[in-house]
Chain A
Amino acid sequence: GENVEQHPSTLSVQEGDSAVIKCTYSDSASNYFPWYKQELGKRPQLIIDIRSNVGEKKDQRIAVTLNKTAKHFSLHITETQPEDSAVYFCAAGGGTSYGKLTFGQGTILTVHP
């Protein structure tokens, strides 16, 4: 089955800096790669996703890049703000029948004012 590794487990940045979180996956059949943001005590929220026919996708301060050859994808947050502080999860899936998603272990992002 799919295995997703996420790094780093914690990330601390100053407000205004950029933050990058990286994930690798094992199943070359995976074709869907979403990113979720989970604030303390709240539900995971989909913030951006990318499909395997696209190499990069951007939405305001957030971008995701995908390298299918190397089987890794990354989340980039520019001009970070304190409200970006949360746990971020990557996931991979969609390639096998019924499209099961496998999640990474999460990255705790702290943005210091």
Chain B
Amino acid sequence: EAEVAQSPRYKITEKSQAVAFWCDPISGHATLYWYRQILGQGPELLVQFQDESVVDDSQLPKDRFSAERLKGVDSTLKIQPAELGDSAMYLCASSLTRPYEQYFGPGTRLTVT
């Protein structure tokens, strides 16, 4: 069964450093989502792509976060500079037809020290 892949699984970084996460969606899924999940809370959408275009980034802190999906397949989420409050799980999901049946990757656990 096809799954969403993410790397790295864990990342520890110091405050003010840059960090990047990678996501490879299920083949053929045109819609890709990046979520942030703080411990004890539900996932919160950061950015949504339709193919290579951003269609919703209303909750993305654009002064420090950026996301791209250059060829409409895999995607990268970057934080620069990282802050202590960015410590969270970053989840990637994809779906064939938005917003139905979103499948999540294993996530990247980010710790900022």
Contacts and interface: CB of A to CB of B under 8 A. Distances in A.
Nearest to A45: B104
Among A4, A43, A98, A104, chain B packs the most CB atoms within 10 A around the CB of: A43
A103 B42 contact: yes
A36 B101 CA distance: 10
A100 B42 contact: no
B98 A99 contact: yes
B107 interface: yes
B99 A100 contact: yes
A93 B106 contact: no
Contact of B101 (A42, A44, A49, A100): A49
A46 B48 contact: no
A83 B4 CA distance: 24
B contact patch SS: loop
Counting chain A residues whose Cβ lies within 8 A of the other chain, the interface size class is 20 to 34
B65 interface: no
A98 B100 contact: no
A46 B102 contact: yes
Contacts of B100: 32, 49, 94, 99
A78 interface: no
A98 B41 contact: no
Contacts of B43: 44, 89, 103
Among A46, A91, A99, chain B packs the most CB atoms within 10 A around the CB of: A99
A101 interface: yes
Contacts of A42: 106
Contacts of B40: 105-106
Contacts of A43: 4, 91, 104-107
A98 B48 contact: yes
Given A6-B42, A43-B91, A106-B40, 7 more contacts: A44-B91, A46-B102, A46-B103, A49-B100, A89-B43, A93-B99, A98-B98
